[in-house]
């Protein structure tokens, strides 16, 4: 049975995602994306008004899969809430050992667009990070941390995003694991009795 070709828009986003991940968003031209997708530049512009719209669409497609992966790692880790949070960091550390690992695409994009806070990709990146924080907050609230749930979620996100940065700088995934241990201690200190 022949492999079905995905719709044109999806092919463009998939091609852009591979190139953006490998080279960064500024280094990749619209011509390169069109070429990788096997289309003309005109076809690409039929689906996306600009490269900025394409960057935003690429990040938007990463939002739910990234959050779903965190949720899966959390669910698969045995133990209490603190151990489950640490499990997310441990899995990220494992991922960071892969030679093609390049960190968080949302953070990498925000660095490249630092002077463009109104860029649609920045809006999507902020929304993604907020969804992750909201998810952690709901977990902590359910675990009984009470009014501290939001602050605790923010602190865990700070450890998470800080670890992404330091792992990229040092190329040492053990920083992710150390951040996970710190997150677990932080969470454990806020759990009731």
Return the closest-CA partner of residue 136 out of 93, 89, 175: 89
Secondary-structure breakdown of the chain: helix, strand, coil percentages, each rounded to the nearest 5: 75, 0, 25
Q: CATH number of the domain at 1-48, out of 3.30.70.270, 1.10.1760.20, 1.10.10.60, 1.20.1740.10?
A: 1.10.10.60
| Chain mean position to CA 97 | 17
Give the per-residue pLDDT at 146. Answer: 83
If you average pLDDT over residues 95-118, what whole number do you get? Answer: 94
CA gap 156, 58 in Å, rounded = 26
* pLDDT single digits (tens) 70-79: 999 999 999 9
Q: Residue ranges per domain, the chain?
A: 1-48, 62-190
Q: Fold identical between 1-48 and 62-190?
A: no
Q: Dihedral angle at the C-alpha atoms of 178, 179, 184, 185, nearest 10 degrees?
A: 80
Give the per-residue pLDDT at 193. Answer: 73
Two tokens, residue 167: 């792992």
Give the per-residue pLDDT at 14. Answer: 96
- Judge whether residue 4 has pLDDT over 80: no
Give the per-residue pLDDT at 1. Answer: 53
CA gap 76, 101 in Å, rounded = 22
Q: CATH number of the domain at 62-190, out of 3.30.420.40, 3.20.20.140, 3.40.190.10, 1.10.357.10?
A: 1.10.357.10
* pLDDT single digits (tens) 12-65: 999 999 999 999 999 999 999 999 999 999 999 999 999 999 999 999 999 999
Two tokens, residue 51: 């490269």
Give the per-residue pLDDT at 3. Answer: 63
- Judge whether residue 6 has pLDDT over 80: no
CB-based contacts of 59, cutoff 8 Å, min separation 6: 105, 106, 109, 121, 124, 125, 128
Two tokens, residue 56: 């935003």
Give the per-residue pLDDT at 147. Answer: 85
CA gap 176, 19 in Å, rounded = 25
CA gap 123, 146 in Å, rounded = 29
* pLDDT single digits (tens) 139-155: 999 999 988 999 999 99
The DSSP code sequence of 140-151 is: HHHTT-GGGHHH
CB-based contacts of 139, cutoff 8 Å, min separation 6: 74, 81, 85, 153
- Judge whether residue 5 has pLDDT over 70: no
Give the per-residue pLDDT at 2. Answer: 55
CA gap 58, 37 in Å, rounded = 14
* pLDDT single digits (tens) 170-192: 999 999 999 999 999 999 999 98
Whether the Cβ atoms of residue 100 and residue 118 lie closer than 8 Å to each other: no
* pLDDT single digits (tens) 160-171: 999 999 999 999
């Amino acid at each position: 049975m022949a492999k079905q070709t995905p719709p044109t828009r999806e092919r463009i986003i998939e091609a852009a995602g591979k190139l953006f991940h490998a080279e960064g968003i500024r280094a990749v031209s619209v011509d390169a994306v069109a070429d990788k997708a096997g289309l003309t530049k005109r076809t690409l512009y039929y689906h996306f008004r600009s490269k900025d719209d394409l960057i935003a669409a690429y990040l938007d497609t990463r939002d739910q899969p990234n959050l779903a992966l965190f949720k899966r790692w959390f669910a698969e880790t045995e133990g209490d809430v603190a151990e489950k949070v640490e499990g997310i960091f441990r899995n990220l550390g494992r991922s960071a050992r892969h030679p093609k690992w390049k960190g968080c695409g949302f953070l990498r994009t925000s660095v490249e667009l630092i002077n463009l806070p109104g860029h649609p990709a920045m809006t999507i990146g902020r929304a993604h990070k907020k969804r992750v924080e909201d998810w952690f907050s709901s977990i902590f609230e359910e675990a009984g941390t009470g009014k501290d749930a939001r602050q605790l979620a923010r602190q865990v996100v700070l450890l998470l995003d800080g670890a992404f940065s330091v792992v990229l700088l040092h190329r040492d995934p053990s920083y992710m694991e150390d951040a996970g241990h710190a997150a677990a201690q932080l969470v454990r200190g806020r759990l009731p009795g």
